[in-house]
Amino acid sequence: MKLLGGLLSPYVMRAALAARFKGHEIPVEMPEGGIKSEAYLALNPMGKMPCLVDGDFALPESAVIAEYLNETLPGPNLLPEDPKARARARLLARFADLYLAPALTPIFRARDNPGAVPQAMADLAAALDKLEALRPAGARWMAGDAPSLADATLMPVFFFLDAFDPMFGTAKLLDDRPGLKAWWAAARASPEGARMVNEQGAALAAFMKG
């Protein structure tokens, strides 16, 4: 099995983290010719990263990859047993995909469109309020007592709140959201979190160098 893509992408990291939380390591590599090459588009017509390759099976879309890894790799289940708790974990991951990550996008693109940053910061604050309201209060991990697919999804996104803080004050947004702040501090300090922050940090530094 291998994951095609680069670990700066929160979507690629989500899939890698899902495997790691289950005690597995999946090699991550950039596809030869890049994600718009004919060969890559044959695997993933969307031309986005990641794509999981498992033998002759190619699977795009990080949420689906993470579920597939959870179902096929041995190790702890990354979704709670109780259907309501399981639904909540999925809801938190879905919230990240549909609302939180899009709120961050204009901040990624601030160099091209600095005028969009103030609205993006307001949207990000509103998305964090909703995330704080949706998660179980006081939980050690995002959706309960154990790491779940919600943590694998959200941890690589929260990396960027820290990374962009010197420019935009994004980490300070957590000061008013103590539940999220405590979750992120604990998640970042976990072995998987510390490794992730190092890897994303190194990848971001390389990206900024151009």
Ligand X SMILES: N[C@@H](CCC(=O)N[C@@H](CS)C(=O)NCC(=O)O)C(=O)O
Binding mask 19-58 for ligand X (x = CB under 6 A): ----------------x-----------xxxx--------
Work out how close the CB of 46 gets to ligand X at its nearest, in angstroms, rounded to a whole number. 7
Residue 163 identity: A
Return d(Cα 39, Cα 45) in angstroms, integer: 10
- For Cα atoms 153, 158, 161, give the angle at the middle one, nearest 5 degrees: 155
- For residue 70, the one-letter residue type is N
Is the distance from CB of 35 to CB of 71 less than 8 angstroms?
no
CB of 12 to ligand X, least distance (A): 7
Query: What does the alpha-carbon distance between residue 90 and residue 79 come to, in Å, rounded to a whole number?
Result: 8
Residue 160 makes contact with ligand X by CB under 6 A: no
Is residue 153 part of the contact set for ligand X (CB under 6 A)?
no
Minimum CB distance to ligand X, residue 49 (Å): 4
Residues 62-101, one symbol each (x = binds ligand X by CB under 6 A, - = not), give xx--------------------------------------
